[in-house]
């Protein structure tokens, strides 16, 4: 993966996570416990996969792309 590809993947992954947060907000405030559970479960799986399978390897290759708020030691240690 080259730098340009990494930047595009990072941008789109951030948009995906931002959108997932909005979906979660709607479900959590719906008053429907079944919907809330299904959405929380599905989004947890998706965001986890995006984070560990896409973003962490990307940040390992291009550390400067990691958002500042994620640069704490607990996020930079290798989990893969």
How confident is the model at residue 32, as a pLDDT?
Answer: 97
Distance CA 14, CA 67 (A): 10
3-state secondary structure of 30: coil
pTM value is 0.76
pLDDT digits (tens, 9 = 90+) for 13-40: 999 999 999 999 999 999 999 999 999 9
How confident is the model at residue 72, as a pLDDT?
Answer: 67
Q: Residue 34: is it exposed, middle or buried by C-beta count within 10 angstroms (0-12/13-18/19+)?
A: exposed
pLDDT digits (tens, 9 = 90+) for 55-74: 999 999 999 999 887 676 55
User: What is the pLDDT averaged over residues 35-59?
Assistant: 96
HSE (CB half, 13 Å, CA atoms) of 71? 8
């Amino acid at each position: 993966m080259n730098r340009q590809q990494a930047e595009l993947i990072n941008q789109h992954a951030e948009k995906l996570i931002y959108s997932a947060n909005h979906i979660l907000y709607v479900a959590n405030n719906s008053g429907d416990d079944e919907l809330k559970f299904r959405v929380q479960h599905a989004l947890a799986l998706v965001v986890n996969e995006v984070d560990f399978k896409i973003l962490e390897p990307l940040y390992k290759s291009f550390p400067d792309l990691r958002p500042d708020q994620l640069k704490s030691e607990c996020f930079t240690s290798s989990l893969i």
